[in-house]
Amino acid sequence: MLLALLLGFALGASSVHLLGLAAQRGRQVMAIASEPIPDGIAAMVHVLESAGVVLDGSNQVILSSPGAQSLDLVDGRTLRSHEMSDAVRRVWRTGEAEVLDLIHRRGRIGTGSEVHLRVRVAPLGNRFMLLLAADRTEELRLAGVRRDFVANISHELKTPIGALTVLAEAIEAGAEEPERVRAFAKRMQVEADRLGRMTKELIDLSRIQADDPLDHPERFPVARVVEVAVDRNRVVADAKRMRIIPRVLEEAEVLGSEELVTMAVQNLVSNAVQYSPEATHVGVGVRVVDGIVEIAVTDKGVGIAPEEAERVFERFYRVDPARSRVTGGTGLGLSIVKHVAVSHGGEITLWSRPGQGSTFTLRLPAADASATEENA
């Protein structure tokens, strides 16, 4: 019995000792975990333009920037992305910073929106881990647009250049037949004009995208823009026995580039004239609605189907490519109009019904007195 008592006492003492050690270890861990983040690090994370997350040794999120919340990187105290969590664990193990590109789905409902992130994970001292994520979605989208633009322009330029080559060979082969030479020469002139228009519009589009008309804006009347745009299309309209009817309901002024806005309205009127039947009319109306100047160009053409309505503003997109070849359309006019509208803080809208015609409306902010004073 005495031996049993001694054995029980020894076991109890050992258990108490082990519990004490465990409690002491727990207090040490809690002290490390609860140790505050240095103020400098917290301030840095909160002013980051990119998304920033700070994690502790147990991979728990202890600080996240507004950008991280916006990108939906954090769920409570954990990272939502398994790829990011795996990267954090690897960096803890190796001590070496790591950079990775990944696709993250933002949002908890449905499939969420897809964003492309470049993520950098690096140790922050001995106790913390810093994760930085930069959203590259727009950068990659623009790179894709540039690639598509180069591919499209290469394809589009091949058509008139190829046609000119073939026609030149045909003229050479038919040198003894004056009628055929005249017909080929006339067609060469059409293709050369088309190539010239495309080159000019490409230069215009490049200039619009490179410059911000609101950096050094001028104040100008919309009535003058309409007058010039209509006058530039008068000859073509007369040749088709068409009337262009301007109707300026209110005097209005806009801030920006008069040259660019005139170019946009001219393109709208030109399209309306080109794609409308002979002996019809095109209307150009101006009104002001809630501080927005609306310049509407209405035609009696074939109209545009609803599924085509959004795509007509894309570069090189043509609803009827065969007809565009006849009229000399380049597929850049409406893209230029859209860029002019956006660069002036406005928009371009379309109403159309197949068989009845279309109305394109350029909507721009009206210039006010305060804008004039700031500009003066």
Domains and CATH numbers, the chain: 39-135 (3.30.450.20), 138-210 (1.10.287.130), 214-376 (3.30.565.10)
Compute the C-alpha angle 238/241/245, nearest 5°.
75
| HSE-up (13 A, CA, CB side) for residue 183 | 6
User: Do 76 and 96 form a contact (C-beta atoms < 8 A)?
Assistant: no
149: exposed, middle or buried (C-beta count within 10 Å: 0-12, 13-18, 19+)? middle
The CA distance from 258 to 54, in Å, is: 51
- Helices vs strands, H then E, count in the chain: 13, 14
Residues 189-248: tens digit of each pLDDT: 877 877 777 777 677 766 666 666 777 889 999 999 999 999 999 998 999 999 999 999
The CA distance from 344 to 321, in Å, is: 30
Residues 28-46: tens digit of each pLDDT: 444 444 456 666 777 777 7
- Which comes out higher in pLDDT, residue 301 or 101? 101
